[in-house]
Amino acid sequence: MNTSLKVALLQANLHWEDTRANRQMFDEKINSIPEKVDLIVLPEMFSTGFTMNAVEMAETMDGVTVSWLKEKAMSLNCAITGSLIIQENDNYYNRLLFINSDGSVEKYDKHQLFTLAKEHEVYTAGQEEIIIDFKGWKIKPQICYDLRFPVWARNTTDYDVLLYVASWPKMRINAWDTLLKARAIENMAYCIGVNRVGTDGKGFEYNGHTSVYDTLGNCLFDESAIEDERIRIVTLDKTHIEETRNKLGFLNDRDNFKLIF
């Protein structure tokens, strides 16, 4: 078990509906990470931008982008995660893939589909919560709009890290900042949010605010100049989680419930 976890967060301007250009761009960014890390995090729909054009842009689990992710993870001996459009059994999914350093894959399909953009008319909602056990760390992945729904993120399994990848627009960035901090505090876990920057093919602007909060809601980054393309590296500390939970014990008072779909 690793008592520390070093994570690289890639805040990038995506090429609209151009999977080849995005793979090349992220290939360069990943290769430029200045130090060895355990995990690399890419934004939501990192290969296309947040598009409803699933018919044209979807790939399969044995497609080019998934193969590229596996190659990068194995060659760098680290894990890589982010979401992309996957077609499977005649359905389309906004699917987060967590690629381990040995090339094995774990997946999470976005549960809360963004009805304002009619995502629910194109994609199939995931119905499974997952916890990824990575180097002794329990990581719960989520995607963008999931952030607005605290019950879906509730820490009933004593996870260590709540991880969001997103295409969260500039016009609602205050909600992003506020909810990431709230999810960290209420779940007594690290909360990571990786967002994109730039303007997409529909004219929506994104201004990043990629952040990491500790179990008390403290931001681990200097929050100035956070709206440009950048790679941010953070080291998470398991001791911080244990000491805070042992001292305060708020999770002991959580309600018991069961989600019904």
Q: Is 28 a catalytic residue?
A: no
Please state, in angstroms and rounded to a whole number, the distance separating the CA atoms of residues 99 and 115: 29
CB 107 within 8 A of CB 97: yes
Among 29, 70, 72, 110, the active-site one is 110
Of 29, 44, 70, 106, catalytic: 44
Q: Which residue blocks in the chain are alpha helix, DSSP H?
A: 19-31, 54-57, 64-76, 150-153, 173-187, 238-248
Residues 6 or more apart whose Cβ sits within 8 Å of residue 223:
211
Reference 84, options 45, 132, 138, 131; nearest CA is 45
Assess whether 191 carries a catalytic annotation: no
**Contact present, 68 and 23 (Cβ < 8 Å):** yes
- Active-site annotation holds for 144: yes
Helix (H) or strand (E) holding 113: none
Q: Which of 144, 181, 186, 191 is the catalytic position?
A: 144
- The catalytic site residues sit at 44, 110, 144
